[in-house]
Structure 1
Amino acid sequence: MNLVWRTPELTLTFALDDGPVRLTTGTEPGSQPLVEVSALGYGRSPGTNRHVDTILGRRLRYVTHEDAGSTLRIVQEDADTGLRVTSVFEAGAGVRAWSEASLTRPGELVLDFLSSLVIGLDSVDADLYSAANDWMAENRWSVQPLRAGGVPQIVRDPHYPVSKSRHAVTSTGSWSTGERLPVGVLVGTSYALGWQIEHNGPWHYELGENRRGGYLLLSGPTSQEHQWTVRLTADEPFATVPVSLVTGTDRDSVFAALTRQRRAVRKRRPVDDRMPVIFNDYMNTLMGDPTTEKLLPLIDAAAEVGADYFCIDAGWYAERDWWSTVGAWQPSTTRFPGGLGEVIDRIHQRGMVPGLWLEPEVIGVDAPIARELPDDAFLTRQGIRVAEHGRYLLDLRSPLARQHLDDTVDRLVADFGIGFFKFDNNTMTGPGTDKGGTSLGHGLLEHQRALLDWLDACRRGIRNC
C-alpha cells in the first residue's frame, strides 16, 4: 500500500507495508526506512558509524496517518518498546519535516539518535554541492562526485558486506554555520534535490550507499557527534529539529526551490515589507570605537544618503578595552560627554530610527555582573561555569538569565527609544551543558531553543520588532 501526498511543488510517495514506512526519490519504494532511531540497548546492525541500519528504525510499523491538506502526520510504533514516532510534513515550496517521539506506556527509553528525515536514493552516482564557511571566507561552494567523498564503489553482491562508510557533514557547538553551511544539493541522473537543516545549534547530515541504492539522512544533534542523549517517557516526548527538502530538474532549479522554501517558512513582519536601509557604524568605519565626536558627522551623512536606521555598534558601553567586561549594557560616560542620549537624539532629529548592538548571550569574566548573577544563570559543566574567550555564557533556560536580558532590552527601549537591535554572538559554547542532569548535547539543544523563544518574545513585546 502506498500513500501519495502532493504539495504545490512536490509529490511524495510513501510505502506503508512490508516493514517500516519508506520514502524514496525513485519509482520503487526501496528499503531505506523513513525514520532512523537508536537508543541505549538498541543500536545498529551491522554496527557502523553510519546512522542507518538502526534496530528500532527497522522495527517501526505503520499505525495511521492524518492528512490535513498542508500538513501530513505519519505515525509508526514499535510494539516491543512502546516507542511511537510521528513524522510530520508541512507543505511549502518543498516540504518541511521533523520527527516527534514518545512512549505509549510507562517506562523510559534513552534515545541517542533520532533522524529528522531520511529519504532513499535511486543511486549515489551523483554530484554533491556543499559549502564551507568562515568569518572572512563565507559561502565557499564546491561540487564533487559523491563517489569521490566517503562513498566508494563497492561490489554489490549478497556474499559481500555493503559499504559501511558515508559522506558525513557535521557542525558542532552553537555556531550553526561556523565551518559548514547546513545546506546541500545532490544531482543524479534521475533526480535533483536540495535540503537545509533549520537549527541554530549542532546538526548533521550524511549520504551513503545500500543494496537498493542509497540514502540521505538529516538530523540535529547526535550522541556520536555531539554528546546528545535524551530520556523519553510517555509524559516527556521529544521533537527533532526541522529540516526542509526540495526537488527540481537540475542544480539551478533546486537552488531556486530552496529560495522559495525559505521565503515560505520565514515569519514575515510588517517592517519587512518596507525594506528599510540600515547603516551600521562598525565594518571599515568605527570598528567598535564609537564616540560622540565620531558619530555625529556619520549620522548626518547617513541621513543625507537616505538611511532609515542608524545602528551604533560595539563599544558604546565601554570605558576602556571591553571584551571581558561586557554584560551590564550601560552607556559609557567617557565616550559620550553629553551622554548617549545626545547621540540618540541626533539620530531621531535626522529622521532615522536609532539602533544598538548587543551580544546578549555573554557576560565578561571580569564584569561586575558576573559576580552578581548566580551559577544557575550560566551554562555549566560539572558545576563549573563554561568560560570561552574571556566570557561566560548565559543559559537561557534560566529565569534569572532571561530576566537580565528582558530588563536590558526594556531599559534601552524606555530610556532611548531604541527601535532596532543588532544581536551578535562571538563566543562558542562548546558541546553544551550538563546542568540539571541532561547530556551535554541536550542541554545545548534546550538552551538554543530557549534563546529562540526569548527572541520570539522580544518580537511580540516590542512594536514593529
Structure 2
Amino acid sequence: MKYIKINENGIHIVFGITDRNQIKLLHFSKADFCEEDICKFGPECKAEDLARRDQLIDEAFQLVQVNLAGYDRPYEKHGNKHICTVPGYLLTYAGMDDCVNEIGRKITVYQEDRTVTHVRLETEMQFYKGTSVVRMKNRIINEGEDTQCLEYLSSFCYTGIEKEGKSNSDAKMRVRIPYNGWQKEMSIREFTFGDVGLAQTQPGVYQRTSQILEVTNTGHWSTKKYLPLGYVENKEAHTSLFWQIEHNGSWHYEISDQNTHFYVCVSGPTEIQSHWFKNLAPGEAFESVPVAVGVADDSFEQAMGELTRYRRMIRRPNKDDEDLPVIFNDYMNCLFGDPTTAKELPLIDAAAVCGCEYYVIDAGWYAPGEWWDSVGEWKECRDRFPNGIKEVTDYIRKKGMVPGVWLELEVMGINCEKAKKAPDDWFFVRHGKRVYDRSRYQLDFRNPAVIEHVNEVIDRVVKEYGVGYIKMDYNIEPGIGTEIGAESVGQGLLEHEKAYLNWLDGVFARYPDLVIENCSSGGLRMDYALLSRYSIQSTSDQEDYRNFATIAANSPAGVTPEQAAIWSYPMRQGDKEEVIYNMVNAMLFRIHQSGHLAELSQERLALVKEGIACYKTICQDIRQALPFWPLDIADNEDLWVCGGLQLENKAYLAVWKRQMEGKNNDRYQNAGISCTEDSLSIPLGSLPFAGKGLKVSCLYPEKEPVSFELDKDILTVHYDKPVMARLFEISF
C-alpha cells in the first residue's frame, strides 16, 4: 500500500494506492492518521492482519461512488445504500494534479475504468486559505462508444467517519440533524448513532445493515425539511466532520455502515430519492453539485465558525453585506399583503424617523383584492396606487431610503392572463399536463421566452418604478421536476435550477448594486447555491416574536449573520418588553423591521429608534464575527435562549426568556446548568479572551435596567418579567 498524505489548513487527508492501482480515501480528519484504525474491531480483524486489512480496503473506501445502469454490484450492500457502485469499485488510479491558485491549494484526482464502462472520473478538491474547509465535486466523462445511464454520482464519499478512538460508535459518535420547515426553521437536534437506528449489533463480526440515516430533499424548495448541512462528531477523539451541499434543489446524504466502518455519502439528486438520471452519450460529461467539507474539534460552534469563514469567501462581493443597511418591510404583523398609498405613507414616515435605510413594499402591489392565483405580470395596481407606485417609491427616496418591492418571478397564477396564452413549454409539465401547486404554475427558466419575460419585469421595476431592492419570494413546491426536454424529470429540474442561477448572475451583472433578498416562504431555500449570489436571506415567516428567538439564535448555522434577515415587528398592543424582545431578535443579524410603527406610543417607538441606532454602531463587527452558543444551540422548548457573536477582543450575547406554554428548563438542568424561572447562569469560558478579566455591559436597551452579575467567567442574569430579552457586550 502506497500512501499519499496531505495536510492543508488543518485537514489531514490520506489516500492509499492499492496493489490493484486503485485510489482509496482512507482518512479525512482533524486528527492524524493511524494505520491501525482501518482494521481493529472484531477477533478476525486485527491490525497486524495485513491481508485482511487489504481486503477490507479493496471492498470499501471508494473516493467516488458512481453508478451506471445495467451492471452488477457484487459487494455487500444491503438495501438502497449508495455504496459498492459500478463503475465505482472498478475505477483505477490515473494520476493527480496538485497546484496552488489565488484561493488556495487545488488537488484533482483522476480515475478511469478501461475494462467495462470506459468512463473517466475527475475529483476536484479546492482548499481555501484560512479555513479548514475544502470544496469538492466530481465530474464523469463517457469515453466509450456506448451511451451510459448515470443513476448516482457522489460529491463526497468517506468511509471510516468513526474510526478514531478505541470505544465503539454507540459510545462516542453523535450526529446533528438540521431540521428546517415553515415557521420552524433552524431546529437542530443531536442524536447518538443508536438513536437513529445505527447501533452496534454485531460487535464481533463485520457490521452490515440495511438501516440508513437519510437526510434528503426532493424538489425545488431546497430546505423545506432539512438544511443542506451535516455534522458528526467523535466524543472520544474530539473531532468532527461537517459538510454543506451547495445546490438549490434535490440533494441527499446518508450515513450507514459497510464492513465494520461507518461511511457518509453526499450528493445532489439521485434516481432513488429524486427521480433523477442522466444519459451520457459518448464524449458527454456530467458534474456533481459542489459540496463543502470541513473538519474541527468536537464542537458544533467551532465547525459553524469554520463554515461561516468559508461562506464569506465564496459569496459574491457586494455592498449590502459590507454596510448592513436596516430594512423596513411592510408585511409581517403589519399590512400582510394589502398595501395602498394611504397605508404606506405614514409607515414610510415612521420608518425614516427610526433610521431605516431601505423600505420594501411587500406582496399585493400588483393586483386588487385577492391576488394569489392571478400573479405573473407584475404591473402596478392603480386601485391600490391611484397615482402609480412611483409616487410611493419617489416618496421613499425623498425620505432618504431606497425603495423595494416584492416579486415571485418563478411562478404564474393559474388565472394570470399571460399564463393562459403562454405555451406549455413555458412551464413544468409531467404526464403531459402542467404541474399545479397552490394555484400556481412553475416557470421553466431553460426557455428563452421565459428569460425574456422575467428580464422585462426586472428592468421595469428598476428603471420605471425606481426600485433598488427586490424581495424575491417563492411559495410553491413543484415537486420532482419536469419531463420537457429531459431524459428524467429530475434532470429537467436540475437543468432549470442551473438556468435560474445563470439568469441570476446575469441580473447582478446588469445591476451590481441591486439588493435581492432570497425568500421562500421564509427560509425554505436557504442554500449556498443561491446565497453565494443573494446578499440577504429571509430566515422565517414566524409570526410569534417569542418563538423567533430560537430561529434567530440558531440562524448562523444556516447562513452568515450579515445575510440573516430577522423580523422585528412591535405589535400594535404591547409593552416596552415586547418591543425590546423584538429588537433583540434582530440586532445581531440583519434587522428586518416591520410592525405598525406609526401607531406605537412615543415610549415604545423610542425603543425601536434606540435599537436601530445601537445596531449601526455594531454592524461592522457583525460582518466579521463568528457564532457562539455558550449553552449550545437553542431548542424550541427552551424557556431560556442564548446566542451570540464573537470576535478576538469582544463578543455580543443575546439572552431571551419566554414564559410560555411548553417552555421549560429541563434541558439545561439536565446538563447541570444553573437556571430557574427568574435567573440563568451562562458560562463564557469558551470565548477567545476568557480568563483575562471579563467585563459585561447591557448594550441594549440602556434605560431599561436588568440585574446581572459576573463571577469569573460565568454571567448570571435575572429577569423578573415573563417575557424579556437583553443584548450584552462582553469585553476585557
Which bracket does the TM-score occupy, shorter chain normalised?
over 0.9
Q: How far is 1:233 from its partner?
A: 2.8
2:286 is equivalent to residue 238 of structure 1: yes
Q: Which residue of 1 aligns with 2:585?
A: none
Task: Answer yes or no: is the 8 Å Cα contact 1:88–1:97 preserved in 2.
Answer: yes
Pairwise CA RMSD = 1.7
Task: Answer yes or no: is the 8 Å Cα contact 1:156–1:211 preserved in 2.
Answer: no
Q: Which residue of 2 aligns with 1:78?
A: 113
2:27 is equivalent to residue 24 of structure 1: yes
> 1:63 & 1:15 partners in 2: Cα distance?
13
Task: Answer yes or no: is the 8 Å Cα contact 2:207–2:260 preserved in 1.
Answer: no
> 1:361 & 1:404 partners in 2: Cα distance?
11
> 1:162 & 1:437 partners in 2: Cα distance?
37
Structure 2 matches for 1:60-459, cutoff 5 A? 60-69=91-100, 70-79=105-114, 80-92=116-128, 93=131, 94-123=133-162, 124-125=169-170, 126-155=173-202, 162-188=208-234, 189-190=236-237, 191-251=239-299, 252-459=301-508
The total of aligned residue pairs comes to 464
Task: Answer yes or no: is the 8 Å Cα contact 2:207–2:258 preserved in 1.
Answer: no
Code of the aligned partner of 2:138: S
Task: Answer yes or no: is the 8 Å Cα contact 1:20–1:57 preserved in 2.
Answer: no
Q: How far is 1:4 from its partner?
A: 2.8
Code of the aligned partner of 2:127: A
> 1:400 & 1:63 partners in 2: Cα distance?
44
Structure with bigger RCO (C-alpha 8 Å, 6+ apart): 1
**3-state secondary structure, aligned to 2:485:** helix
> 1:429 & 1:71 partners in 2: Cα distance?
37
* Higher Rg: 2
TM-score (norm 2): 0.62
Task: Answer yes or no: is the 8 Å Cα contact 1:150–1:168 preserved in 2.
Answer: no
TM-score (norm 1): 0.96
**3-state secondary structure, aligned to 1:21:** strand
- Label 1:463 to 1:184 Cα distance change in 2 as closer, same or farther (>3 A): closer
> 1:7 & 1:410 partners in 2: Cα distance?
45
Q: How far is 1:162 from its partner?
A: 2.0
Q: Which residue of 2 aligns with 1:7?
A: 8
Task: Answer yes or no: is the 8 Å Cα contact 1:21–1:62 preserved in 2.
Answer: no
> 1:2 & 1:384 partners in 2: Cα distance?
55
**3-state secondary structure, aligned to 2:289:** coil
Task: Answer yes or no: is the 8 Å Cα contact 1:317–1:330 preserved in 2.
Answer: yes
- Label 1:148 to 1:245 Cα distance change in 2 as closer, same or farther (>3 A): same
Q: Deviations over 1:228-261 (max 9, x none)?
A: 1001134321111111111111123222222222
Task: Answer yes or no: is the 8 Å Cα contact 1:317–1:331 preserved in 2.
Answer: yes
Task: Answer yes or no: is the 8 Å Cα contact 1:97–1:117 preserved in 2.
Answer: yes
> 1:139 & 1:173 partners in 2: Cα distance?
19
Code of the aligned partner of 1:87: T
Task: Answer yes or no: is the 8 Å Cα contact 1:36–1:51 preserved in 2.
Answer: yes
Task: Answer yes or no: is the 8 Å Cα contact 1:116–1:219 preserved in 2.
Answer: yes
User: What are structure 1's unaligned runs of at least 5 residues?
Assistant: none
Q: How far is 1:75 from its partner?
A: 0.8
User: What are structure 2's unaligned runs of at least 5 residues?
Assistant: 39-56, 163-168, 515-732
Q: Deviations over 1:266-309 (max 9, x none)?
A: 22213321111111111111110000011011111111111111
Task: Answer yes or no: is the 8 Å Cα contact 2:136–2:290 preserved in 1.
Answer: yes
Q: Which residue of 1 aligns with 2:531?
A: none
Q: Deviations over 1:339-380 (max 9, x none)?
A: 111111101111111111100100000000102221111111
Code of the aligned partner of 1:377: W
Q: How far is 1:156 from its partner?
A: 5.2
> 1:274 & 1:307 partners in 2: Cα distance?
13
Matched-pair identity in %: 38
Task: Answer yes or no: is the 8 Å Cα contact 1:197–1:241 preserved in 2.
Answer: yes
Task: Answer yes or no: is the 8 Å Cα contact 1:325–1:364 preserved in 2.
Answer: yes
Code of the aligned partner of 2:126: E
Q: How far is 1:382 from its partner?
A: 3.0
Q: Deviations over 1:55-101 (max 9, x none)?
A: 31111111011112222111111112111111111112211111111
> 1:184 & 1:40 partners in 2: Cα distance?
28
Q: How far is 1:7 from its partner?
A: 3.0
Structure 2 matches for 1:40-51, cutoff 5 A? 40-42=69-71, 44-45=73-74, 46-47=76-77, 48-51=79-82
